[in-house]
Structure 1
Amino acid sequence: MNLTNPCEVRAIMESHGLQFQKQFGQNFLISAAIPARIAEQAGECVLEIGPGIGTLTRELCARAQQVECVEIDRGLIPVLDETLADFDNVRVTNADIMQLDIAEFVRDRFGGRRITVCANLPYYITTPVIMALLESGAPIDRITVMVQKEVAVRLAAAPGSSEYGAVTAAVAWYGCAERLFDVPAGCFVPRPKVDSAVIRITLGCGARERVGCCDERLMLRLISAAFGMRRKTLLNALGSSFSHFSKEELAKIIESAGISPTVRGERLSVAEYAHLADVMAEWTRNEGRFQAP
């Protein structure tokens, strides 16, 4: 069985009366080298999101002890039963990963063991899925995913660069993002309009472990507000979302964090956002009677 042969892929889909579902962002790999390279990042226990017809899954099964797949398209379940019939270390769950309690699912399926995540994510849901994984609290060592090339560049961008954004800072809080290699559009069927890239996010090496933060939700709100109006100064950008502070109070909080109120949010590292959140939380606890943390 060659799931990277376009003719065979179409034949399998037609035999099950299926068509490529645009609503699920289905673009299946037809380059044998790519699934193998992604699977090299897998550990012993793997969660795969969106296995499609099983191209990457087969490579994962050949390397890992246990593979758990979550597939949203019910029509692909019988296809996967066929393409994965050679393996006894894989199980497919028909569900929407965004509707699952990821930590509970991982605990139930892997019994508390640490896992790696591999996926060829649909472009339209890339950021929500990555953030759901990072925020889940599940014992994940690393996440290796194929995403739109533009998104990969953004995820691995440095503070102050034009590609640096809210999701970059949020990912950097939890781990280190690295762009591994690019994947041309011609490696898929149907062929997408843009190229892709594979990124690896290694958890446990982000700013969270280095600097900490007393209120992560507040920090993420600060990041969202700053990048929501990225052309404005930090003071003006935060003014809309934190209107319970006067402009003078906000300026004092920002300055007390060692940051200029006139800087743009895109210039700040996630560690600086974490410190700003600590300062703002301390101000709030003292009802405006500021005490530096």
Structure 2
Amino acid sequence: MARPARNSRALSQNFLADRATADRLARLAVPHAGRPALLLEVGAGKGALTERLAPRCRRLRAYEIDRSLVPVLRDRFSTTPHVTVVGGDFLAARPPRTPFSVAGNVPFSRTAAIVDWCLRAPALTDATLLTQLEYARKRTGDYGSWTLVTVRSWPWYEWRLVGRVPRTRFRPVPGVDAGIVRIERRRTPLLAPAAHDSWRRLVELGFSGVGGSLHASLRRAGPGRRVDAAFRAADLDPRALVGEVAPEKWLLLHGALAAQV
């Protein structure tokens, strides 16, 4: 006997119940006149966003993990041949090899894993995700602070908070409002490919945490004079907490340290 589908609470599902919000999210996901060749929707739910995304792309793969919703979705889009409903976990999908976009009202509890999947996909061009507002604000620097994930990916991806959605626009109504995060691969990376490893080492060391101080963390791995000189070149206060250092300052710091080698 097949196991019953997990309920919406267990799956962290909050279905979008507002047409205007679905329209807005679809426009943000496909902001340009040229339609993307392939768009992946994560967490299609009952199809509210799928319906708005379908006219804006040439191919749409709508992923839904809740098996009880898959037949409903397939019936709803049975006359829309360029829409493929995939029953299963988006995170288990193999990323396409050709350029593609991602959009979706993501389960709040799985946001970090979905973002990680997107950042690891070599052919991803952009992702537009409806997440918890706090997550969206933290990742985009809206609080005036920055996270490891954002800084580490910054030379290759731009992060923006492009909208806020009241919690009353969902069913069931979640306990918090939502935010729309837009992650776009840069056409021209801010660092050369050869600098990828040194950048990753710098950022991860900086976030490793010595009293929250970036300066103190970096001094553990190299001569203090080099670190001091790099901070002066980047016009960075040695007392700055790591989360307070904007990505642009990290780039200056990385460049100053590289110039000393």
Higher mean displacement: 60-69 or 166-175: 166-175
Kindly indicate whether the alpha-carbon contact (under 8 Å) linking 1:69 and 1:90 is maintained by their aligned counterparts in 2. yes
Structural mapping, 1:6-155, within 5 Å = 20-40=7-27, 41-42=29-30, 43-44=35-36, 45-102=38-95, 106-107=96-97, 112=98, 114-138=99-123, 140-155=124-139
Q: 1:150 to 1:85 in 2, by over 3 A?
A: same
Kindly indicate whether the alpha-carbon contact (under 8 Å) linking 1:131 and 1:171 is maintained by their aligned counterparts in 2. no
Q: 1:79 to 1:169 in 2, by over 3 A?
A: same
Q: How far, CA to CA, are the matches of 2:140 and 2:250 in structure 1?
A: 18
Q: 1:91 to 1:179 in 2, by over 3 A?
A: same
Q: Deviations over 1:125-181 (max 9, x none)?
A: 21232232123211x3321110111112122216xx544222332343322222222
Match of 2:227 among 254, 268, 271: 254
Kindly indicate whether the alpha-carbon contact (under 8 Å) linking 1:169 and 1:223 is maintained by their aligned counterparts in 2. yes
- Letter of the 1:257 partner, please give it: A
Partner SS state of residue 150, structure 1: helix
Root-mean-square deviation (CA), in Å?
Answer: 3.0
Partner SS state of residue 134, structure 1: helix
Kindly indicate whether the alpha-carbon contact (under 8 Å) linking 2:6 and 2:66 is maintained by their aligned counterparts in 1. no
Kindly indicate whether the alpha-carbon contact (under 8 Å) linking 1:72 and 1:94 is maintained by their aligned counterparts in 2. yes
* Structure 1 length-normalised TM: 0.72
Shift of 1:228: 4.7
Kindly indicate whether the alpha-carbon contact (under 8 Å) linking 2:41 and 2:104 is maintained by their aligned counterparts in 1. yes
Q: Does 1:220 align with 2:200?
A: yes
Match of 1:156 among 109, 129, 140: 140
Partner SS state of residue 69, structure 2: helix
Partner SS state of residue 10, structure 2: helix
Q: How far, CA to CA, are the matches of 2:208 and 2:65 in structure 1?
A: 31
**Identical aligned residues as a percent:** 23
* Structure 2 length-normalised TM: 0.79
Partner of 2:171: 189
Q: Which has the larger radius of gyration?
A: 1
Count of residue pairs brought into register by the alignment: 248
- Letter of the 2:224 partner, please give it: A
